[in-house]
């Protein structure tokens, strides 16, 4: 049986909302469903969450839900007819609006940002719609702004607006984000992603809110601002996982810098044992096309070779013509890369001189599995830590994460190499090994004569007590 190590995150949207489409995505290989809270109402997202849970139950597979908070995303208002075409050299007025549905005439661009006239100066360049259209401020004063188009294009309603990062005064966690986070926690989300992170303190604030709710939830830091790259290591250490958000990185930095930044983030994430996600335009042509470009296939494979725990699809699955086809293609590219002779995943090493017992045991189990040629490493885990440590070691054996805790199983969906499977609460280690033996055989992970390595804790059922390894030959 071929087990894909790197995980696939799919953004949900109109193209993937139906129960049938969700089942197709899960069967094609989706591990994590991303809900983009930049769009949609709480009612719509609540229905999505229910449909994902129902589809996962139908497929008998674990699927995590990632809530992606909007953050201080600055957007335009609306345009007459839904679009505005700007020619190079054309001038427009810029006006602040607090009404997201306000409609401007053809000579004005409305921008949803308080204090716009105070924060922009002559010579500032604004990048609209991820840099597809650029305008430069040519007049500022008296509360009025005018700008000249320097890169032509057509704008749609409510596209993103990039203002020089050092001018933005909006808090990373906006009031909208706080309301959205409260809603997400009430719905039982498995991960929360914080957009436009600038400091470790912002990540800790989100964690504190989750804990105050009584629902501790892993926080994913989206790295997409110059401040985040400047304070990269503290942010990674404060986070449970990180995302290389290349859309806004490509706006904030010259395109030639983005691949280098991506590799830097992945390297530090591996060093500090934090899962890393590579996102944005991985298979963008497949929004409409039925095959990716060669460059896109190479991009996915490169992320795998560089050690990413997960790769993410955005518009391809949210509004593309064939979401499940895209996931199947991404699955095939990942598997081909992982089975090649060029794939040599390096395990992370703890920075501290001494490691925790549970981590040492998990790493030892990985070494034993390699030395005895075990097909599978079974990690019995209550909180997920044992499986997470095993994943960090990047073993050659597949990792089966067994847990009676459904929340833990869903959170394992993001981690490299782990197949999460439910197992009931067991009484002792002998019963655990027997149950693992039966599950592995029944699901085709092993055959008679194969061996597997189990790592677990005693006393059984107590979180954080991983202290035992056992090798079992399949009968």
Catalytic residue numbers read 34, 75, 222, 280
CB atoms within 10 A of CB 88: 11
Provide the 3-class DSSP secondary structure of residue 190. Answer: coil
Q: Is 373 left (phi over 0), alpha (psi -120 to 50) or beta?
A: left
Chain centroid to Cα 124, Å, comes to 32
Q: How far apart are CA 210 and CA 447, in angstroms?
A: 43
Sign of CA dihedral 447, 449, 455, 460: positive
Residues 6+ apart with CB under 8 A from 257: none
CA distance 28 to 330: 9
For 426-475, give the DSSP string. Answer: -SSHHHHHHHHHHHHHHTTS--TT-EEEEEEESSTT-TT-EEEEEEEE--
Q: Hey, what are 422's tokens?
A: 């439910």
> Contact 210/244 with Cβ under 8 angstroms?
no
Element holding 67 (H helix, E strand): strand 64-68
Q: How far apart are CA 435 and CA 454, in angstroms?
A: 11
Which is it for the CA torsion 165, 167, 171, 174, positive or negative?
Answer: negative
Closest CA to 168 of 209, 219, 207, 112: 112
The secondary element (H helix, E strand) that includes residue 33 is: strand 32-36
Asked whether the beta carbons of 376 and 398 are under 8 A apart, the reply is yes
Distance CA 205, CA 202 (A): 5
* 194 strand-pairing partners: 221
- State the alpha helices, DSSP H only, in 224-373: 226-230, 232-238, 246-252, 258-271, 294-305, 315-318, 323-338, 357-372
For residue 345, the 8-state DSSP code is P
């Amino acid at each position: 049986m071929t087990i894909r190590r790197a995980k696939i995150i799919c953004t949900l949207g109109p193209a993937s909302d139906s129960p049938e489409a969700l089942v197709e995505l899960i069967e094609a290989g989706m591990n994590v469903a991303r809900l983009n809270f930049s769009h949609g109402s709480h009612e719509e997202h609540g229905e999505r969450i229910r449909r994902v849970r129902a589809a996962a139950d139908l497929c008998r597979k674990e699927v995590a839900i990632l809530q992606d908070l909007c953050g201080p995303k600055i957007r335009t208002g609306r345009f007459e007819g839904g679009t505005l075409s700007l020619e190079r050299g054309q001038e427009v007025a810029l006006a602040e609006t607090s009404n997201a549905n306000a409609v401007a005439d053809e000579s004005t661009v409305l921008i949803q940002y308080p204090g716009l006239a105070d924060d922009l100066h002559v010579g500032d360049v604004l990048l609209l719609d991820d840099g597809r259209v650029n305008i430069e401020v040519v007049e500022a004063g008296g509360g009025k702004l005018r700008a000249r188009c320097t890169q032509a294009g057509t704008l749609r309603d409510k596209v993103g607006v990039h203002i020089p990062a050092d001018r933005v005064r909006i808090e990373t966690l906006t009031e909208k984000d706080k309301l959205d986070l409260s809603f997400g926690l009430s719905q039982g989300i498995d991960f929360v992603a914080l957009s436009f992170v600038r400091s470790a303190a912002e990540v800790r604030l989100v964690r504190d809110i989750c804990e105050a709710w009584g629902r501790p939830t892993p926080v994913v830091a989206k790295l997409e601002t110059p401040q985040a790259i400047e304070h990269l290591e503290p942010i990674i250490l404060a986070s449970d996982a990180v995302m290389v958000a290349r859309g806004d990185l490509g706006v904030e930095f010259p395109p030639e810098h983005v691949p280098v930044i991506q590799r830097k983030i992945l390297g530090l994430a591996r060093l500090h044992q934090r899962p890393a996600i590579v996102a944005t335009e991985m298979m963008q042509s497949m929004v409409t096309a039925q095959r990716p470009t060669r460059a896109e296939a190479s991009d996915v494979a490169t992320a795998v070779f560089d050690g990413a725990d997960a790769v993410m699809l955005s518009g391809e699955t949210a509004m593309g013509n064939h979401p499940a086809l895209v996931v199947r293609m991404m699955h095939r590219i990942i598997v081909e890369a992982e089975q090649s002779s060029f794939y040599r995943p390096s395990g992370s090493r703890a920075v501290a001189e001494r490691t925790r017992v549970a981590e040492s045991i998990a790493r030892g189990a990985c070494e034993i599995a390699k030395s005895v040629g075990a097909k599978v490493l079974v990690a019995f885990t209550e909180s997920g830590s044992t499986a997470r440590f095993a994943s960090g070691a990047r073993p050659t054996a597949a990792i089966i994460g067994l847990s009676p805790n459904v929340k833990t199983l869903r959170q394992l969906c993001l981690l490299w190499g782990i197949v999460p499977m439910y197992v009931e609460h067991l009484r002792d280690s002998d019963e655990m090994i027997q149950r693992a033996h039966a599950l592995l055989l029944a699901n085709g992970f092993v055959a008679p004569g194969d061996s597997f390595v189990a790592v677990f804790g005693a006393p059984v059922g107590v979180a954080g007590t991983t202290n035992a390894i056992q090798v079992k030959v399949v009968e």
